């Protein structure tokens, strides 16, 4: 079966789109860059006139001080235009880079829940940094190369008009240098990719280690992890050394070309100066032009090689946004470069958001990564039907692997609905991931994440602070005693770089984050798994006091099952039974097994 190739963007098309994103910056940069390289020709020619004037070989008499003043003016003009060109060039790079990073991040946030990132977090950071810098810089090479070759062509033409023989002897070897560059670029690209992949391996492994330090310690894997890290670093070091060796080899060839050119001029010019066919001013002009004209092959080779490596960086970034179309990466969006960043607008709860009843009709989802679990049973959920009324406490229960979390993730749009329908107050929901958000719905996952921020910021997540609402959320999450024990209270730094909270504390902070948004539907995925019996009891009791709250809870704990108005029992991805606890215990062997294995209070 032929695999369909993922859509991509050609390097030239990608760069055209980048230029269109910031045309003004690019146009100004191009204009002043061409002026800079146009001016490059003038100092050498002025030197020729000065030395010819001093040696008495000039056919036309010029005012020496006027020539010196003109030389200074040209140098100052080149400096100033260079500053302007660099200013707009770097502004273009940063603006385009910011937009690419913005689009990458936005695409990650839109990414379907069943499609994880194709790389580790460490590798993703490399793409945000290195690959974005690589492609954002490349368009500024275009005016740079154009200006260099225009200036180089003018300089070579002037040199040839003075003495064609010396010019040919100097520049014919340039063709050989260009051929060598062309032959070497395949190896350059290979090592460039090798450096990128080995760097990804190192940063990816570091990210995984930092995320699982406790697991490594428990397994006694410190020495093995260190050895593997050393191996990855050695591979990266070897790739870096080989790439640097080839680069330095090319630089050496180019420097040798300059030395060769100066030697040719010294050998041939001496006799020609004696017979008057070559002046001291001509010698000064040749030496002046030699420094930037002989670097043209290296610059062109680097440009061609960089053009080819663009394809690698572009594909690495496109991997991050697939299955979205490539155009999403270069879509023009505001980056608020100079204007003030607008305030974040949070949706206010309206009458239309009120929940009366939510229904699932024939929901089905099959996990794509595997067709079976080793026992002949497929993984996923099939033909799930249920309804939840406002103000009720509904529990989804079942054995491990029965599809509880999958059902919740499909309901909330984290996984796509392959078959079936979701209704909110009788209205079909076409895009669950966009619909089931605060103030309609809030969700706490099995393993909540906290950022390296203050406790207050972790709960509010940018939401405007209302002290009364925040205190109510903390109380509802049974976190007030824990908060009192923290030295800085709500200003305590938590997360990976802050105070270490227990699993139960993290769960309750995540619950407070959900409560403070006052949604119509609260969805808990095994919230009580990290809570002790007493804390769980208090939490459910406080939720019971809020008769307006509608809760959908994934749990097998007895405290949650006893309080349930309705229980949905899953088995092998299907609804095995549903009803109240007493009814299910009486008629369902599956429910009795779960109840027997549930935690005692």
373, pLDDT greater than 50: no
Band (261; pLDDT cuts 50, 70, 90): low
Question: In whole angstroms, what is the distance from residue 189 CA to residue 193 CA?
Answer: 6
Q: Looking at the chain, which residues constitute the CATH 3.40.50.300 domain(s)?
A: 353-597
Which of 41-50, 55-64, 334-343, 435-444 has the lowest average pLDDT? 55-64
The pLDDT value recorded for residue 58 is 63
40, pLDDT greater than 80: yes
Per-chain mean pLDDT for the chain: 83
pLDDT in tens, 414-458: 888 889 999 999 999 988 988 998 889 999 888 888 888 899 999
Pairing label, strands 550-554, 521-525: parallel
Q: Could you tell me which residue, 251 or 435, shows the higher pLDDT?
A: 435
The pLDDT value recorded for residue 88 is 93
The pLDDT value recorded for residue 569 is 93
The fold of 11-330 is ABC transporter transmembrane region fold (1.20.1560)
Band (59; pLDDT cuts 50, 70, 90): low
**Strand positions, DSSP E, 408-530:** 419-424, 427-428, 441-444, 521-525
The pLDDT value recorded for residue 197 is 78
The pLDDT value recorded for residue 321 is 87
107-127 b/e with 16+ CB inside 10 Å = b?
beeebeeeeeeebbebbbebb
| Most confident segment among 120-134, 334-348, 353-367 | 353-367
The pLDDT value recorded for residue 372 is 44
The pLDDT value recorded for residue 355 is 92
371, pLDDT greater than 50: no
Helices 222-275 and 296-321 cross at an angle (nearest 10°) of 150
User: Can you tell me the mean pLDDT for 247-255?
Assistant: 72
Which of 12-26, 30-44, 86-100, 115-129 has the lowest average pLDDT? 115-129
Q: Which residues contact 302 (CB under 8 A, 6 or more apart)?
A: none
User: Can you tell me the mean pLDDT for 549-574?
Assistant: 90
Exposed (0-12), middle (13-18) or buried (19+): which is 76, by Cβ within 10 Å? Answer: exposed
Q: Are 114 and 416 in contact (CB under 8 A)?
A: yes
CATH number assigned to the domain covering 353-597: 3.40.50.300
Band (557; pLDDT cuts 50, 70, 90): confident
CA atoms within 13 A on the CB side of 484: 4
Which of 2-6, 157-161, 254-258, 338-342 has the lowest average pLDDT? 2-6
Q: Looking at the chain, which residues constitute the CATH 1.20.1560.10 domain(s)?
A: 11-330
């Amino acid at each position: 079966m032929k695999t369909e190739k993922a859509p991509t963007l050609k390097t030239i098309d990608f760069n055209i789109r980048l230029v269109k994103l910031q045309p003004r910056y690019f146009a100004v940069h191009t204009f002043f860059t061409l002026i800079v390289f146009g001016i490059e020709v003038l100092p050498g020619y002025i030197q020729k006139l000065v030395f010819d004037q001093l040696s008495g070989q000039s056919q036309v008499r010029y005012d020496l001080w006027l020539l010196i003043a003109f030389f200074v003016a040209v140098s100052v003009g080149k400096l100033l235009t260079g500053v302007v060109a660099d200013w707009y060039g770097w502004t273009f790079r940063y603006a385009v880079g910011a937009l690419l990073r913005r689009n990458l991040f936005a695409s990650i946030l839109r990414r379907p829940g069943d499609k994880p990132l194709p790389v580790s977090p460490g590798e993703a950071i490399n793409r945000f940094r290195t690959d974005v810098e690589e492609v954002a810089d490349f368009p500024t090479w275009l005016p740079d190369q154009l200006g260099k070759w225009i200036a180089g062509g003018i300089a070579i033409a002037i040199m040839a008009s003075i003495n064609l023989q010396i010019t040919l002897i100097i520049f014919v070897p340039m063709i050989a240098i260009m051929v060598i560059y062309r032959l070497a670029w395949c190896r350059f690209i290979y090592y460039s990719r090798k450096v990128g992949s080995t760097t990804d391996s190192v940063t990816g492994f570091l990210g995984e280690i930092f995320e699982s330090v406790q697991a490594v310690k428990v397994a006694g894997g410190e020495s093995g992890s260190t050895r593997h890290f050393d191996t990855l670093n050695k591979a990266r070091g070897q790739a870096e050394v080989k790439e640097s060796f080839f680069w330095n080899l090319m630089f050496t060839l180019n420097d040798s070309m300059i030395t060769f050119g100066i030697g040719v001029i010294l050998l041939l010019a001496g006799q020609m100066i004696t017979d008057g066919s070559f002046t001291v001013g001509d010698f000064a002009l040749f030496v002046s032009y030699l420094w930037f004209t002989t670097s043209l092959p290296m610059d062109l080779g680097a440009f061609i090689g960089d053009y080819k490596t663009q394809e690698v960086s572009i594909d690495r970034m496109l991997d991050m946004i697939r299955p979205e179309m490539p155009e999403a990466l270069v879509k023009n969006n505001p980056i608020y470069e100079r204007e003030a960043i607008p305030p974040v607008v949070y949706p206010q709860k309206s009458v239309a958001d009120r929940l009366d009843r939510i229904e699932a009709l024939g929901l089905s989802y099959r996990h794509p990564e595997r067709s079976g679990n080793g026992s002949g049973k497929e993984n996923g959920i099939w033909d799930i039907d249920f309804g939840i009324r406002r103000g009720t406490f509904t529990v989804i229960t079942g054995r491990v692997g029965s599809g509880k979390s999958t059902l919740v993730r499909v309901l909330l749009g984290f996984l796509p609905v392959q078959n079936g329908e979701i209704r909110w107050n009788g209205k079909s929901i076409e895009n669950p991931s966009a619909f089931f958000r605060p103030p309609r719905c809030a969700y706490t996952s099995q393993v909540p994440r906290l950022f390296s921020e203050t406790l207050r910021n972790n709960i509010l997540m940018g939401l405007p602070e209302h002290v009364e609402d925040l205190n109510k959320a903390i109380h509802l999450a049974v976190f007030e005693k824990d908060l009192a024990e923290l030295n800085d209270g709500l200003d305590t730094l938590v997360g990976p770089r802050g105070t270490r909270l227990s699993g139960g504390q993290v769960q309750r902070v995540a619950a407070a984050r959900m409560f403070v948004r006052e949604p119509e539907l609260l969805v808990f995925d095994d919230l009580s798994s990290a809570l002790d019996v007493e804390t769980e009891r208090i939490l459910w009791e406080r939720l019971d006091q809020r008769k307006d709250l509608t809760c959908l809870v994934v749990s097998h704990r007895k405290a949650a099952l006893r309080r349930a108005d309705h229980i949905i029992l899953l088995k092998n991805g299907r609804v095995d039974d549903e009803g109240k606890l007493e009814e299910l215990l009486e008629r369902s062997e599956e429910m009795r097994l779960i109840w027997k294995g549930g935690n005692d209070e």
